[in-house]
Amino acid sequence: MAVVSARGWAALLRGMLLLLAGGAFAAAWSAGLYASALVSALAGLWGLVTGIAEAQRPKLVPVAAPMPAPDPAHRERRLTALLDLSPAPIVTLDEEGRLHAINRAARRLFGAADLIADPPELLAEAIAGEASGRAATVAIGGRSYALTTSEFALGGARSRLAALIDIDAELKAAEAATLRDLVQVLSHEIVNALTPIASLSRTAADMLADEAPALPAIRDAVGTVARRSAGLQRFGEAYRSLARLPAPAFAPLDLRELGDDLSRLFATRWPDLPLVVDAAAPIRLHGDADQLSAALWALLQNAAEAVAGQTGGQVELALWRDARSAFWRVSDTGPGVAAADVAAIFRPFFTTKPQGSGVGLALARQILLAHGGDLALGESDRGACFEGRLPIDPRG
């Protein structure tokens, strides 16, 4: 339904008034009521005059009030306040090679209100030399900073804007979190191992204090203490092997040959368990053959233990490469990794095996990370699947 404006309603009422006034005038004039006819004529005349006046009045078109022009000083103060809130020091390098402190963090770091009179050595060169958007690392006052740059124009002059991120603070926070996790794991494992040892030792000591000690029971208690102590010793050795992993000695190697050697060892260790190897072509790369063998063997051993006692179980090893990386995949037909354990499987000393050390996967991943690659849990329709990636030449 159409919406009628106020002006439209007024015109409609004036038209009705003229119509009624005309009818009343005619009726009164015919009846000889000349006074009434005069009143009707005056009412009609008034409606006609107001209609003409309304038609001649210009229509008012609503116009939005003009927005006030932005205040440059206010905008600059707002931008300065936002920059001062940034914890990262921000500096600019002008066309003449001068460094300027832009925000509070930069003024505090360099002890300058604006122009940095004595900037750190090579900082200006690092800002000028880095491509826009690329990251570099610089040392300032004994601390390491990640440097990111971008270009901008101000008043026709081109400058470079650089932000400095304190890497040392980030590294210390990460180290503290890692140390807390490590202490928590170590304390958990050690307490779990020492609690039964202490309990059985007290029990054995109490039994020895009896007038007629039960030697078989004492023998069992001491044997259990010896086994648990040996387990604690193995845990310590596993931790030491993980903590003292040397840097890889890079040399040319063929990953397929390494896989062939391990498949022969696998057949000797598990003669009744088939190992299916898929590696058609040589895969040459640079790496530490001993460390990579240890990492791959840990995965094969985990896979073999996962299908132990399973009828028709098997382990698969696939090796391949592309233009830049080499890959391996170790999969099995075992029960797979429980969803609740996915986030913890690479955590040192985490294990679901009664006699496991929880070092194999963590050590394998650490070896691949040291080679510039990575190890991850892959997707599989059955069993577990671990996929490793290695750069063909980590030096280039």
Which residues of the chain are modeled with pLDDT < 50? 1-5, 9, 12, 15-16, 18-19, 133
pLDDT score of 287: 92
Backbone angles phi, psi at 260, to 5 degrees: -65, -40
pLDDT score of 41: 55
Backbone angles phi, psi at 275, to 5 degrees: -115, 115
> How is the chain split into domains, by residue range?
9-55, 84-167, 170-243, 251-391
- Please, which residues have CB within 8 angstroms of residue 55's CB and are 6 or more apart in sequence? none
Contact 288, 368 (CB under 8 A): no
pLDDT score of 320: 94
Q: Evaluate whether 84-167 and 251-391 have a shared fold.
A: no
d(CA 380, CA 365): 19
| CATH number of the structural domain 84-167 | 3.30.450.20
| CATH superfamily for domain 251-391 | Histidine kinase-like ATPase, C-terminal domain (3.30.565.10)
Task: State the pTM of this model.
Answer: 0.46
Burial of 287 (0-12, 13-18, 19+ CB in 10 A): buried
pLDDT score of 332: 92
pLDDT score of 2: 44
Helical H segments across the chain, by residue range: 6-30, 34-56, 72-84, 104-110, 123-129, 167-208, 215-243, 255-269, 289-306, 360-370
Rounded to 5°, angle at Cα 14 from 13 and 18: 120
Rounded to 5°, angle at Cα 126 from 124 and 129: 105
pLDDT score of 136: 66
pLDDT score of 254: 93
pLDDT score of 389: 94
Which residue, among 278, 290, 289, has the nearest Cα to 254 in the 3D structure? Answer: 289
Rounded to 5°, angle at Cα 296 from 290 and 302: 135
